[in-house]
Each structure stands twice: as C-alpha cells, then as structure tokens.
Amino acid sequence: AATNRPAALDAALRRPGRFDVEVEVPPPTPAGRLAILHARLRAVERAGALDVAEAELARLAAGTHGFVAADLAALVDEASLEALREHVERQREGCHPGEQGKQQQDQPRLLARHLAAARQRISPSALREVAVEVPDVRWSDVGGLESVKQRLREAVEWPQAHAQALARVGARAPRGTLLFGPPGCSKTMLAKAVATECGLSFISVKGPELLSKYVGESEKAVRSLFARARAAAPAVVFFDEID
C-alpha cells in the first residue's frame, strides 16, 4: 500500500499485524535530482537537441528543493515546449523566399535558459498549497542595518557554510531567529535576503493563517506546514505577524 498522508490513516491500520513495515520515501537529494534530470533528458540528448552544460544541470538540481520525479518531468516538458515555441517563432520571423530549406534544417535545441524559465513556472507538487518562492533579494538590496545583516549571517549562513568548523569547536547552530521592530523596517526583506544568499527556498506564512476555531486544527496546520517545509528543505520558514 502507499499514501502521501500517513497521518491521515486510521490508527487501526497502523497497529501490529497490519503494516508491520513502514518505509518513508523522501524527496530526492540534489544528486538524485541530477540523476532524474539526466534520465528525463536522455531522449533529447540522443536526438542531438540538448545544449546544456553539466554544470548548469547540477546548478538546476541544487536549486529545485522539494521537487520529486514527477515535478522534474514536468519541468523538462515545460522547458521542451519553451524551446519549441522559440524555434517556431524564430522560423516565423526569419522565413523568407529561398530560405525554406535552410529553415527546415534548423532544429529546436534545448538550452539552459529554457530550463531556467521552466523552473520559474513549475512548483513542487507537495508545496503548491504553501507560498513557496525562491526570492531574488540580496543583502545589497537592504539599505543599512549592517549589524543586523551580520547577526543573520552568523545565525543562518554560517551554520551551512562552516558546519564542520562549528562542530569542531562544539558550537550549536541557532534553532530559530526572531526579527522584531516597527512596521516597514525591512524585516521581510531581511528574511528573503537570507534565503537568497544561502540558496534556500522561502516559505512565508502569516500567523492568523494557522489559527482555527476548531480544536486540534491549528496544531494540524502547523504539523502540515513543517512537513511541507521538510519536503522543500533546506528552506527558510518565515512566520509573519507571529503574534
């Protein structure tokens, strides 16, 4: 049997004697995503229509947190359609009398920019109910606040970039960070900048969205949120208006 919501199963089904072995199938790692991309692009490569460097594919695999095989297949399909649309448009604009033979020999090619464009359109299927984005906000986009930026680097960026060094000195990475200040002082931009600079997905949730008048529903919403965040890991979960 299989399910993508084990917590929703009747407890009786999970008693001894029913399903004695439970195997969690996690989302693929970056290496796994790269292997899936290679498999999905194999036919394009055999046709001689693939023009994407290995480094570009590796970068795409690293930047598709939370994507499963079906999502990566959809991404490749969308990129192929983008390449075909570009090819048809190029033929339409450049086809003149006497050039038909040359245009027919011109074949569509799948380039890195087509994959990048498809990445912007395709979201992980497990995260479509949550606002997940890959922000494009840099430290340089946030004016001033140099001491705050440094604190955030130490809290979020350093544990990822210098994990071994921190382990050697016995330092423990912070579990969470609270940003506080008056409205309009760039708290959200700072959180997005952290995600961008560290190459993380960004999940923004407003506090009231998790509240429910029904008993147990708020707790269920929090569990569901973090389950989805784990699927998109590594990710920044930003609780706006947490109070």
Domain ranges of the chain: 30-96+104-126, 132-240
Domain 30-96+104-126 has CATH 1.10.8.60: yes
Average model confidence (pLDDT) across the chain: 79
- pLDDT-derived band at 144 (thresholds 50, 70, 90) equals confident
Lowest mean pLDDT among 34-38, 47-51, 107-111, 208-212: 208-212
pTM: 0.60
pLDDT at residue 126 in the model: 66
DSSP of 37-70: HHHHHHHHHHTT-EE--HHHHHHHHHT-TT--HH
Q: Name which of 68, 53, 180 is nearest 127 in CA terms.
A: 68
Helices 69-94 + 30-46 axis angle, to 10: 40
Residue 230 CB coordination number (10 Å): 14
CA proximity to 138, closest of 84, 101, 192: 192
- 133 band by pLDDT with thresholds 50, 70 and 90: low
Three-class secondary structure assignment of 63-112: CCCCCCHHHHHHHHHHHHHHHHHHHHHHHHHHCCCCCHHHHHHCCCCEEH
**What pLDDT score does 131 carry?**
56
> Residue 104 — very low, low, confident or very high, per pLDDT cuts 50/70/90?
very low
pLDDT at 98 over 60: no
Closest CA to 185 of 238, 152, 145: 145
The CATH code of domain 132-240 reads 3.40.50.300
